[in-house]
Amino acid sequence: MTIALVTGATRGLGLATSRALAQVGACVLLSGRSKADAESAAASFRQVGLDVQALELDVTSVTSVRAAAEQVAQRHGRVDVLVNNAGILPEATDPSEREFANVDVFRSTFETNVFGAVAVTEAFLPLLRNSVAGRIVNVSSTVGSLADQTNPDSPYFELSVPAYQSSKAALNSVTIGLAKMLNGTGIKVTSVCPGFVKTDLTPASKEQAPLTPEQAARIVVTAATLPHHAASGTFIDENGVVPW
């Protein structure tokens, strides 16, 4: 059975991804900062026959990440799929005045979106190496694409959330570097853009988003279940390759 860990999984895309992976037969480790929230979400899935277990994991705490990795090692001995989904977009609700960017918002955004993903990946890589075919999925965004940001024809060309955009660009770079390092190991790394999703990440524009979390989760599952011949170190969405 596939053991899949999803970070930031107590709501939104992470919750939908946990459900989708469990529905295709994975034992899902649904993780979140709040143990109670993770337990509640996991229990609701088990009630409908899905194999979902709760895991307390705060990606911004090295202590929490290490403790979670030790717990998974003792319970399962490996991880087959790691979905680095935990992410924040505080600029969407930041009322402060600024010339360009709020440094504190920049710092907190990178703490979760980049450093959190790196910390979790570092802690769980030994368990991924125990998998026959490990998969790492970094949930990114097209708005982090440098090509997209500089394309006047892009629907997001005028968008200005520099902390979030640069954090996703940095996460994409992590994907590339990690894929190079893991070349030949059987572990594949993929950045995915789930699209514009109706989640609490962007509360002001939630009603404008065309995709439900369930629809957006499909591309995450695609990356989590890549066949052995698929390329590693790519950036994809539901339509195919996304330019870096």
Phi first, then psi: give them for residue 235, nearest 5 degrees: -125, 115
Q: Sheet containing 81-84: which strands, arranged edge to edge?
A: 52-56, 27-32, 3-6, 81-84, 135-139, 188-192, 234-237, 240-241
Q: In angstroms, rounded to a whole number, what is the distance separating the alpha carbons of residues 123 and 120?
A: 5
Which amino acid is residue 215, in one-letter code? Q
- Evaluate the CA torsion angle 159, 165, 166, 170 in order and state its sign: negative
From 35, 164, 188, 198, active-site residue? 164
Q: In angstroms, rounded to a whole number, what is the distance separating the alpha carbons of residues 27 and 190?
A: 21
From 35, 168, 188, 198, active-site residue? 168
> Is 156 assigned a catalytic role?
no
Q: In angstroms, rounded to a whole number, what is the distance separating the alpha carbons of residues 158 and 195?
A: 17
> Is 164 assigned a catalytic role?
yes
Look-up of token digits 């993929």: 190
Burial 129-148 (b: 16+ CB within 10 A, else e): eebeebbbbbbbbbbbbeeb
Q: In angstroms, rounded to a whole number, what is the distance separating the alpha carbons of residues 69 and 4?
A: 13
Q: Confirm if 10 and 41 have CB atoms less than 8 A apart.
A: yes
Residues marked as catalytic: 164, 168
